[in-house]
Each structure stands twice: as C-alpha cells, then as structure tokens.
Copies of this chain bind each other. A is one copy, B any other.
Amino acid sequence: MGQNVVEVGVPKFQLLPACEDDHEGVIVDMKEPMDPNVFQAMLKASLSQWKLEGKKGAWIKLPIGLANLVEIAVKEGFWYHHAEPQYLMLAYWIPDTLSAIPANATHQVRIGAIVMNDKRELLVVREKIGRYWGTGIWKIPTGILEEGEDIFTGATREVKEETGINTEFVDVIAFRQKHRYFFGKSDLIFLCMLQPLSFDIHKQDSEIEEAQWMPLEEYADQPVVENHCIFKHIKDICLAKIERGNAGWTPLPITSLFNDQISYLYMEEDLKP
C-alpha cells in the first residue's frame, strides 16, 4: 500500500483500512510505513467517506515507528487521545455535535501495605527516592500497580520487592483518592492489611534506604503521625486490628456478563453469598 502513488484529489475508493467499533465509530490501526503525502490524501478521502456514512468517532493508532505521520493526522483535525511507550492514539469526532469520545485513563493506582507481626511491630521503610527522601520519616511500603495487576497481587509483590518479606493478603481496610498527583492525574491508594509469612528483612537497594520492624508505639511517636494525615489513620487502623480484630473488604471473583473474564469485587464478608 505504501508503494502506491496517490494524488491529492484521490478517488473516493482509496481509503485507509478501518474497522468499526461498538460506538458507530471507525478505528485505523496503522502498522506499515506510508508516505506522508499518500497518508494525507487517503485520510482526507476516508474522513469524507466516514462522514457520508454517518460515522461518529474516528481513531488512528500510530506505532512510534510512524511518528512521521503524527503531524499529518493533527493537520487533518485529529487530537491526541492517549499514548503508551510504543504507540500514539489520535481521535476525531466526525458529527457536528459535542464529542462523546471518552476520556483517557485518569488514575494511577497504588497500594500501601500494612504488615504487622505478632510483637505489635509494623514493617516500615525509609525511601531513597521521591517525596519522602531526606525527611527521615519511616513509612509503610507503598508502590504503583503494574498494568493489569490486581490490588491483592500488587500488595504482596511490593512488600516482597522492597523488604524481602513474604506475605499473605488479608483485606483492604481503606482507600484514599487524591487529585493533581502527577501530570494532572489523580491517585488512588488502597491500604491493605497483609499477614507476614517470613520475618528476615532483605531490603531493595535501588529505592529503599532502610527497612525494619518497628514497634507500633515508635511509629506513632514520629512527629509526622500527630498531624491529621494518613499516617495517623494508619496507626489507628493498626490499633483497631489488634484490639478489635477489625476487618476490611476482601475480593470476590465474579464473572463478566459479556465474556469469560474474571474480575474482583471487594466488599465486606457479610455481604458475600
């Protein structure tokens, strides 16, 4: 296809290959290199045709190797929808109505891991990087979920990576939503209770300065904990767990209506069948 010489004023049948989506739109998944002038002519012709057909959203997925076509798509009215390391997705709303193209992902999801041993000691770390670096504050291990990772999986993974401690997921005890956290995006952190299965700490060198089992009282005595911030609530959550066996929400696997996919519904045990 990239070999064809196509004039501007291209015949109507020389269109970009497109699939239909579930919302009366079209998706062009560009895979092979194409001369920018040819791409422009075919894109113009395609847009005219899609408009005639009453299509709504138009999408172009450009792998990073076709970065030379980005400028053309933008010239024809496309805007950036989202990007991943290996591709850029552009979008265009064809009708003369308000765009109904959905927003990009808006949240980063993190876990905070509350790991207590039976001596009322909390697993804490001092970080080498990020906001807490240099503050001297001891905090619980936290980390960002990887793409497609479940909360309960990410929690045990992060604790293992940062401290070498093996754990079993118990429940989610709280979550916090915070805005304008990074690049204008929001952050959701799920505080997870984990049961330690091992106790010898082997800290990660790249991100963790120090790691230790710290008596809960000592954690609570840090000046930072007295403020009305998440540290104080973590202390209260630990005490509620020790003193009242307070329980959080646990994941229940559920099936999709539309396919075989399993997802997890987190709720209190009493609500489960």
- The residues of A with any CB-CB pair to B shorter than 8 Å are 22-23, 64, 67-68, 70-71, 74-75, 79-89, 100, 102-109, 129-131, 144-148, 150-151, 173-180, 182-186, 188, 206, 224, 227-233, 236-237, 240, 244, 246, 249, 251-252, 254-258, 261, 263-268, 270-271, 273
Number of copies: 2
By beta carbon, the residue of chain B nearest A72 is B67
Residues in chain B near residue A104, CB distance under 8 A: 82-84, 105
Q: A233–B254 contact, CB under 8 A?
A: yes
Cβ contact within 8 Å between A254 and B186: no
Residues of B near A177 (CB, < 8 A) are 150-151, 251, 263-264, 266
Contact sample, A vs B, 15 pairs, CB 8 Å cutoff: A22-B130, A23-B129, A67-B75, A79-B86, A84-B104, A105-B108, A107-B108, A131-B258, A175-B265, A177-B263, A179-B261, A180-B261, A228-B254, A229-B254, A236-B271
Closest Cβ of chain B to A198, distance in Å, is: 26
Please measure, in the bound complex, the distance between the C-alpha atom of A186 and the C-alpha atom of B144, giving whole angstroms: 14
CB–CB A106/B147 < 8 A: yes
Contact B254 A270 (CB under 8 A): no
